[in-house]
């Protein structure tokens, strides 16, 4: 899958429009844009340039809406408001937010407590721009602020009971956005295309003529190198890996995926790519496999999903 790297968080979503000369028959409309701190793209086949632009504006507008609603960087987002109210009153959530919270609860149970949206507070101890492992004295107080079981939520009211606790939906929102936008395009009549949120990909439908899209799995250790190409007709693919934010020290890699039980980064897999019906399902499965470390392969084998996993020695493990 084409993993498009975005280095900066951008609060304004902008689009670079590339549309081939549209004829009476379908042709390609390709829109690249920045959102949620990463580079994204929407590609679909359409017979009208005006329709293509209108659909892209609507789709990118939905990505922007989700970014504003769930980004922990924006003070008015529901996530920031929940975090600011930690230790005080409950915050009312709408149906969409409740869906994501319920899904996070499911992932927590499915992962044995490893997929925990309260663990983002641990990033306060880890600065991946520096090759420095924090002392445990920095990590221990933050572990006291993690733990999904501590959270109080009932119906549409959500409360973090301890001041300093936080939630972070960043591990789900990009995948949710890919699914949401793909569904929007399909409901608007698009039958051929895909949505790519920085490597979290949801296919709207195959190329015209029922030809598959060729998705690229990047090499986790060699920049711009490809480790596999996979034909995809439908469904979704997502990758979780140790190469997004990391530092290497004394022969060991420390990455941004942190075990919420220990406070330290995971270290068993270079990357895990999963194919599933939805991007949300693919992404969460890949992340849980990374978090499960030595038993991640057992989790993948029993998940029922196709996958391509690369261990620390560079050995490939797959099911397809």
**pLDDT mean for each 10 residues of the chain (320 residues):** 30 42 64 94 92 95 97 96 97 97 97 97 95 96 97 94 97 97 97 96 96 95 92 97 95 96 97 97 98 97 96 93
Whether 189 and 97 map to the same domain: the answer is no
Q: What pLDDT, on a 0 to 100 scale, did the predictor assign at position 26? A: 64
Q: The sheet that has 152-154: what strands, in order across it?
A: 91-92, 157-159, 152-154
Same-domain pairing of 224 and 318: yes
* Separation between Cα atoms, residue 100 and residue 281, nearest integer Å: 12
Query: Same domain for 219 and 179?
Result: no
Beta-carbon contacts of 214 under 8 Å, excluding residues fewer than 6 positions away, are: 229, 230, 231, 232
What CA–CA distance (Å, rounded) separates 151 from 142? 15
DSSP, collapsed to helix, strand or coil, labels residue 103 as: helix
Confidence at residue 280, expressed as pLDDT on a 0 to 100 scale: 98
Cα separations (Å) of 238 from 8, 23, 47, 178, 285?
Answer: 21, 33, 29, 10, 9
Q: What pLDDT is attached to residue 296?
A: 97
pTM for this model (two decimals): 0.91
Residue 197 shares a structural domain with residue 219: no
Question: Are 65 and 106 members of one domain?
Answer: no
Q: Are residues 318 and 219 in the same domain?
A: yes
Q: Are residues 89 and 226 in the same domain?
A: no
CATH number at residue 117: 1.10.3980.10
Do the Cβ atoms of 236 and 251 come closer than 8 Å?
Answer: no
Predicted local confidence at residue 18, as pLDDT: 55
Residue span of the structural domain in which 107 resides: 78-166
Note whether 15 and 141 are same-domain residues: no
- The encoded tokens of residue 250 equal 């004394």
- The number of beta carbons lying within 10 Å of the beta carbon of residue 212 is 13
Whole-number Cα distances in Å, 262 to 74, 110, 112, 295? 29, 18, 14, 16
Helix, strand, or coil (residue 169): coil
Task: CATH number of the domain at 282, please.
Answer: 3.10.520.10
What's residue 23's pLDDT? Answer: 43
Q: Tell me if 238 sits within 8 A of 273, measured CB to CB.
A: yes
Distance in angstroms (rounded) separating the CA atoms of residues 196 and 297: 26
84 and 127, same domain (yes or no) = yes
Token pair 């309260």: residue: 118
Query: What per-residue confidence (pLDDT) applies to 10?
Result: 27
CA atoms of 216 and 223, how far apart (whole Å): 13
Amino acid 180: pLDDT: 98
Q: What angle do CA 128, 133, 135 make, to 5 degrees?
A: 130
Lookup result for tokens 């942190």: 258
Domain boundary among 111, 140, 166: 166
Domains identified in the chain, total number: 3
Q: 150, 178, 205: which is the final residue of a domain?
A: 205
What is the structure's pLDDT at 285?
98
Task: Clarify whether residues 228 and 299 are in a common domain.
Answer: yes
pLDDT of residue 223: 87
Measure Cα distances from 249 to 245, 266, 283 in Å: 14, 14, 28
HSE, side-chain direction, 13 A CA sphere, residue 64: 14
Residue showing tokens 């990033």? 123
Q: What pLDDT shows up at residue 8?
A: 28
Q: What single DSSP character describes residue 207? A: B
Q: Whole-angstrom Cα distance, residue 216 to residue 195?
A: 14
Instruction: Verify that 144 and 111 share a domain, yes or no.
Output: yes
Statement to judge: residues 47 and 85 lie in one domain: no
């Amino acid at each position: 899958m084409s993993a498009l790297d975005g280095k900066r968080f951008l609060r304004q979503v902008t689009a670079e429009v590339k549309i081939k000369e549209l004829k009476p028959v379908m042709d390609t409309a390709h829109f690249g844009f920045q959102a949620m701190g990463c580079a994204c793209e929407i590609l679909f086949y359409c017979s009208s340039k005006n329709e293509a632009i209108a659909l892209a504006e609507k789709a990118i507008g939905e990505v922007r809406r989700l970014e504003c609603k769930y980004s922990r960087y924006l003070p008015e987002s529901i996530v920031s408001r929940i975090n600011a109210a930690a230790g005080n009153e409950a915050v009312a959530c709408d149906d969409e937010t409740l869906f994501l919270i319920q899904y996070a609860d499911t992932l927590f149970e499915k992962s044995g407590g490893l997929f925990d949206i309260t663990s983002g507070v641990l990033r306060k101890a880890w600065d991946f721009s520096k090759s420095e492992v924090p002392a445990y004295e920095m990590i221990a107080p933050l572990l006291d602020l993690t733990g999904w079981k501590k959270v109080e939520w009932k119906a549409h009211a959500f409360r973090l009971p301890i001041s300093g606790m936080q939630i972070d939906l960043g591990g789900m929102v990009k995948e949710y956005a890919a699914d949401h936008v793909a569904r929007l395009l399909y409901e608007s009549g698009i039958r051929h295309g895909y949505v790519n949120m920085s490597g979290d990909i949801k296919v709207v439908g195959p190329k015209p003529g029922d030809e598959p899209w060729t998705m690229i799995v990047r090499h986790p250790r060699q920049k711009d190198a490809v480790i596999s190409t996979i034909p995809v007709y439908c469904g979704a693919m997502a990758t979780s890996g140790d190469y997004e934010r990391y530092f290497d020290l004394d022969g060991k890699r420390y990455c941004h995926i942190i075990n919420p039980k220990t406070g330290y980064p995971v270290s068993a897999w270079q990357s895990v790519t999963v194919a599933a019906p939805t991007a949300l399902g693919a992404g969460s499965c890949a992340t849980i496999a990374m978090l499960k470390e030595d038993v991640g392969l057992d989790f993948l084998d029993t998940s029922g999903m196709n996958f391509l996993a690369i261990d620390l020695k560079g050995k490939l493990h797959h099911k397809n």
